[in-house]
Amino acid sequence: MEYVKLSNGIEMPILGYGVYQIAPSECERCVLDAIGVGYRSIDTAQAYFNEESVGRAIRRCGVPRQELFVTTKVWITNAGEKRAAASIDDSLRKLQSDYADLLLIHQPFGDYYGTWRAMEKAYRAGKARAIGVSNFYPDRLTDLAECCEIKPMVNQVETHVFNQQTEARKTMEAYGVRIMSWGPFAEGRNDFFTNETLLAIGAKHGKSVAQTALRFLIQRGVAVIPKSTRIERMKENFDIFDFVLEETDLAAIAALDTGKSLFLDHTDPETVKFLLRIHQ
């Protein structure tokens, strides 16, 4: 496994397992499978409604808690210092852990300044080993980083070959924020799995499109959390440390970047309204 070092010295696995859209009924089994394959980083969130399943898997897996890296996120409905603090404690209860390795603000809406103050307190109290944000565009990240006491350590954003966050990363790097990708396969959009460039480069290295895309991201220092409910895919996604993409490969894949989201535009007022209404 390779790691990225956060600004506070904590080392985070560059490859993890995400549980977005995995039903609670099968999440425990999936996390146990992933840990069995070798994953040590698990990414969940309050809004996924499967923290309890992740917690049960962590308890049952047989791997010491300190060898796992567990991420969860505070949702908009828990925004604000008081609500966020209570929700963090609730998340830890569900995860059956005294701490989260990484605690993130899930969306840059609502009273996220109050949420950040609660996360700073959780960090100082040892309830989180690292804190950060998710889906923060450069303007919001700059605003928070300039106004808070503890700078965000991670920003988890949509990052894949079609949206490589090249410009946004400049702002992250200026504040010592490490990038983490959600949706590294673009959820199959834009004909991801039949892309000719990825197919050709993968064939050259004896790897799949998914492996090629993941390798591209990690060679660029992007932490990734691919999701699959099938253990054979979990193994495939994990098997990306035995080859290296050449400079010509990297350049060809870099050329796929459109610089645009395939999902949501967080600067669109209708997107903001949509996100604010979820789980209300």
Strands 3-5 and 154-158: unpaired
Helices (H), ranges, 175-230: 196-205, 209-219
Distance CA 117, CA 95 (A): 22
Cβ contact 69:102 at 8 Å: yes
**Secondary structure of the chain: what % helix, strand, coil (to 5)?**
50, 15, 35
- Chain-centre distance for alpha carbon 250: 22
Q: Is 106 known as a binding-site position?
A: yes
How are beta strands 3-5 and 11-13 bridged, if at all? antiparallel
- Residue among 17, 39, 48, 123 flagged as catalytic: 48
DSSP assigned state of 177: P
Let me know if 39 is a catalytic residue. Answer: no
Find the helix or strand (DSSP H, E) in which 74 lies.
strand 69-74
Burial of 50 (0-12, 13-18, 19+ CB in 10 A): buried
Hey, what's the torsion of the CAs at 214, 217, 219, 225, to 10 degrees? -60
Token readout for 130 is 């690292």
Dihedral sign of CA atoms 229, 218, 167, 199 in order: negative
What is the rounded distance in angstroms from the CA atom of residue 101 to the CA atom of residue 105? 14
Name the strand (E) or helix (H) holding 277: helix 269-277
Annotated binding-site ranges = 106
Annotated binding-site ranges for substrate = 106
Active site residues per annotation:
48
